[in-house]
Amino acid sequence: MARGVPGGAGVSAILGLGRYPEAERAALEALGARMVADLDALRGLDAAARAGVRALAFRGHAPFGAAEMALLPRLGLIANYGVGYDAIDIAAADAAGIRVSNTPDVLTDDVADLAVGMLLMQQRRMLAGDAHVRTGRWAAGQGFGLSRKLSGRRVGILGLGRIGRAVAERLAAFNCEIHYFSRSEKPTPGWRYHADAVELAAAVDHLVVTLVGGPATEGAVSARVIAALGSEGVLINVSRGAVVDEDALLDALEAGRLGGAGLDVFWDEPRVNPRFAALEQVVLQPHQGSATRETRAAMARLQRDNIEAFLEGRPLPTTVN
d(CA 122, CA 120): 5
Binding-site member from 16, 84, 233, 241 for ligand NAP (CB under 6 A): 84
The full DSSP string for 90-146 is: HHHHHHTT-EEE---STTHHHHHHHHHHHHHHHHTTHHHHHHHHHTTTTTTT-----
How many chain residues are in contact with ligand NAP, going by CB under 6 A? 29
Question: Considering only 8-16, 59-67, 156-164, 192-200, which stretch makes contact with ligand NAP by CB under 6 A?
Answer: 156-164
Query: How are beta strands 14-17 and 55-58 bridged, if at all?
Result: parallel
* Residue 287 in contact with ligand NAP, rule: CB under 6 A: yes
Asked if residue 18 binds ligand NAP (CB under 6 A), the reply is no
One of 290, 295, 303, 306 touching ligand NAP (CB under 6 A): 290
CB 254 within 8 A of CB 226: no
Tell me, what DSSP letter sits at residue 221?
Answer: B
Among 232, 254, 269, 280, which one carries the catalytic annotation? 269
What is the smallest separation between the CB atom of 220 and ligand NAP, expressed in angstroms? 7
Assess whether 269 carries a catalytic annotation.
Answer: yes
Alpha carbons 260 and 38: distance in angstroms, whole number: 35
Q: For residue 36, what are the contacts with CB-CB under 8 A and spacing of at least 6?
A: 15, 16, 17, 42, 44, 45
Stretch binding ligand NAP (CB under 6 A), from 124-132, 196-204, 211-219, 255-263: 211-219
Q: How far apart are CA 311 and CA 193, in angstroms?
A: 43
Q: Are 59 and 68 in contact (CB under 8 A)?
A: no
As a whole number of angstroms, the distance between CA 167 and CA 48 comes to: 47
Q: Is 295 in the site for ligand NAP (CB under 6 A)?
A: no
What whole-number distance in Å separates Cα of residue 71 and Cα of residue 78? 13
Peptide bond into 6 cis (omega under 30): no
What whole-number distance in Å separates Cα of residue 316 and Cα of residue 154? 40
Stretch that binds ligand NAP, among 12-20, 32-40, 118-126, 162-170 (CB under 6 A): 162-170
What's the distance, Cα to Cα, between the start and end of the chain in Å? 28
Q: Using CB atoms, what's the residue nearest to ligand NAP?
A: 161
Under rule CB under 6 A, residue 265 binds ligand NAP: yes
Binding mask 216-255 for ligand NAP (x = CB under 6 A): xx--------------------xxx---------------
Q: Show contacts with ligand NAP in window 169-208 (CB under 6 A).
A: 182-184
Q: Which stretch binds ligand NAP (CB under 6 A): 129-137, 161-169, 225-233, 298-306?
A: 161-169
Residue 107 near ligand NAP by CB under 6 A: yes
Instruction: List C-alpha distances in Å: 293 to 18, 85, 109, 258.
Output: 18, 21, 13, 34
To the query of whether residue 287 is one of the catalytic residues in this protein, the response is yes
Nearer residue to ligand NAP within complex by CB, 153 or 240: 240
Q: Which of 240, 246, 296, 308 is the catalytic position?
A: 240
Query: Is residue 102 near ligand NAP by the rule CB under 6 A?
Result: no
CB of 211 to ligand NAP, least distance (A): 4
Burial of 284 (0-12, 13-18, 19+ CB in 10 A): middle
**160 forms part of the interface with ligand NAP (CB under 6 A):** yes
Q: Find the binder of ligand NAP among 53, 78, 111, 116 (CB under 6 A).
A: 111
Query: Applying CB under 6 A, does 163 fall inside the site for ligand NAP?
Result: yes
Binding residues for ligand NAP (CB under 6 A): 83-84, 104, 107-108, 111, 159-164, 182-184, 210-213, 216-217, 238-240, 264-265, 287, 289-290
- List the catalytic residues: 240, 269, 287
